[in-house]
Amino acid sequence: MLIEAPLLRLFWDVVETTQSTDWVTLSDLALGRMLLQQVSKRVLLSREESQSLALYISSRTQLIRDITDDCKPGYYAISV
């Protein structure tokens, strides 16, 4: 599973810019599909890239949810 750096940057840009207010109601599988679909709207993915990205997303679902929770308006992380 090798994912090129530009595709990873694009994926994380999608995570940061996609509305996350409804993500809480999505299952992990549905969230992964939605994110993969958003990336696919921006760039044409080969079958191998799509499969690799789907595996990458599924292995980082909790991180994705944590990051989007931290980016919600009104949320301020405190550094110690």
Domain regions of the chain by residue span: 5-70
Region 14-29: what's the mean pLDDT? 85
Amino acid identity of residue 73, one-letter, is P
Please say if the pLDDT value at position 60 is more than 70: yes
Spatial neighbors of 56 by CB under 8 A, at least 6 apart, are 1, 3, 8, 11
Question: End-to-end CA distance of the chain, in Å?
Answer: 36
Share of the chain above pLDDT 90, in %: 65
Contact 42, 10 (CB under 8 A): yes
